[in-house]
């Protein structure tokens, strides 16, 4: 309003257009906000942005995100602001009789448990799993192509946030190239409902799909891969460090699952062999 007034637009006109009263503006002119109030507003904005992107984060993680964005504050300060504004972790709220409430889907269920595809890059599945180490949890987000069961992209991190899902999708796109029109089916996890993930889908011409709440069968084909990973890597021993487990996961996916583990659904071929056979005729015809 100050800038508009400096340009010659009367305050009364601006207030009428914005449908606000003039008295609060003049009170603010008489006593502008202090530097402390401005700093608190900046911190609140940074915490709100982090909470909106990752609603499962508690105040400590939100403070980390704010500090990464260049707004410094102590964890106690973040707790005080979040408490006053009612910004709580989605996992920290008291559960009702039927358990925690999952957010609404941002996509319809286009798959309906039909996990088949006649060619690569028609249907991808994505999900997240976790496992404990002595240092703490490690999270894996994987993207699987239904046609060959190949893991076309994955991301491993110590924190389960929207960036984990976006990075896995980005890696899949880097490996596959232009896959516009491909359906990406997930559950209703907050990482897959985040604005960052939805924007990534739209930017590359991908179509989102989401299963129902509490229906494991709606993404059963992805769960089967995680079950193999659980039996062959995660539960085989105790993992002391996250890096140790990360290397084991990558090694198993790239060396064993992709190149050595033959699958009955693929005619006793490995995912790499199956894709090589299926894509060669198409490339020759081109």
Instruction: Please give the average per-residue pLDDT across 155-169, as a whole number.
Output: 94
Cα 286 to Cα 274: distance, rounded to the nearest angstrom: 19
Determine the pLDDT at residue 258.
Answer: 95
Report whether pLDDT(44) > 50.
Answer: yes
Confidence at residue 208, expressed as pLDDT on a 0 to 100 scale: 94
Tell me whether residue 102 is exposed, middle or buried, using C-beta atoms within 10 angstroms of its C-beta: 0 to 12, 13 to 18, 19 or more. middle
CB 185 within 8 A of CB 126: yes
Q: Which of 47-56, 94-103, 135-144, 156-165 has the lowest mean pLDDT?
A: 94-103
Residue 131, helix vs strand vs coil? strand
User: Maximum Cα–Cα distance for the chain, whole Å?
Assistant: 79
pLDDT value at residue 109: 87
Residue 95: pLDDT above 50? no
CA nearest to 242, candidates 131, 128, 133:
133
pLDDT above 70 covers what percent of the chain? 88
- What is the per-residue pLDDT across 209-232, written as a single tens digit (0 to 9) for each? 988 765 556 678 888 899 999 999
- C-beta atoms surrounding 171 within 10 Å: 18
pLDDT in tens, 48-84: 888 877 776 788 888 888 888 888 888 888 888 888 8
Distance from C-alpha of 35 to C-alpha of 49, rounded to nearest angstrom: 21
pLDDT at 1: 66
Write down the pLDDT at residue 15.
80
In this prediction, residue 70 carries a pLDDT of 87
Q: How many residues does the chain have?
A: 286
Contact 191, 216 (CB under 8 A): no
CB 131 within 8 A of CB 155: no
Query: What is the arithmetic mean of pLDDT over 23-27?
Result: 76
Band of the pLDDT at 185, cuts 50, 70, 90?
A: very high
Instruction: Say how many C-beta atoms besides its own lie within 10 A of residue 189's C-beta.
Output: 20
Residue 121 has pLDDT above 90, yes or no: yes
Q: Using a pLDDT cut of 90, give the percent of the chain over it.
A: 45
Q: How many CA atoms within 13 Å lie on the side-chain side of 157?
A: 15
Please answer whether residues 151 and 144 qualify as being in contact, where contact means their C-beta atoms are separated by less than 8 angstroms.
yes
Give the model's pLDDT for residue 120. 92
Kindly tell me if the per-residue pLDDT of 91 is higher than 50.
yes
The token pair that represents 216 in the structure block = 């494991």
Average pLDDT, the chain: 84
Q: What is the pLDDT of residue 213?
A: 63
DSSP 230-250: HHHTGGGS----HHHHHHHHH
pLDDT of amino acid 196? 93
> Which band of pLDDT confidence, cut at 50, 70 and 90, is reported for residue 23?
confident
């Amino acid at each position: 309003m100050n800038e508009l007034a400096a340009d010659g637009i009367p305050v009364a006109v601006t207030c009428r257009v914005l449908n606000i009263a003039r008295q609060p503006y003049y009170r603010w002119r008489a006593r502008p906000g202090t530097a402390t109030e401005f700093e608190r507003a900046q911190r609140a904005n940074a915490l709100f942005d982090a909470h909106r992107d990752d609603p499962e984060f508690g105040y400590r993680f939100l403070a980390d995100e704010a500090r990464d964005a260049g707004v410094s504050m102590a964890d106690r300060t973040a707790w005080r602001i979040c408490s006053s504004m009612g910004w709580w972790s989605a996992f920290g709220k008291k559960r009702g009789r039927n358990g925690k409430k999952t957010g609404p889907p941002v996509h319809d269920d286009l798959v309906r448990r039909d996990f088949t595809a006649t060619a690569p890059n028609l249907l991808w599945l994505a999900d997240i799993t976790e496992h404990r180490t002595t240092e703490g949890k490690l999270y894996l987000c994987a993207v699987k192509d239904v046609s060959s069961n190949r893991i076309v992209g994955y991301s491993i991190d110590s924190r389960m946030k929207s960036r984990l899902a976006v990075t896995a999708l980005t890696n899949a796109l880097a490996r596959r190239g232009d896959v516009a029109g491909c359906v990406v089916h997930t559950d209703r996890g907050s990482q897959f409902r985040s604005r960052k993930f939805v924007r990534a889908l739209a930017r590359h011409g991908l179509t989102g799909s989401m299963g129902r709440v509490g229906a494991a069968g709606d993404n059963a084909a992805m769960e089967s891969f995680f079950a193999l990973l659980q039996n062959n890597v995660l539960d085989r021993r105790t993992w002391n460090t996250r890096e140790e487990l990360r290397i084991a996961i990558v090694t198993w996916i790239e060396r064993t699952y992709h190149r050595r583990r033959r699958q009955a659904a693929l005619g006793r071929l490995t995912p790499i062999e199956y894709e090589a056979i299926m894509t060669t005729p198409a490339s020759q015809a081109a």
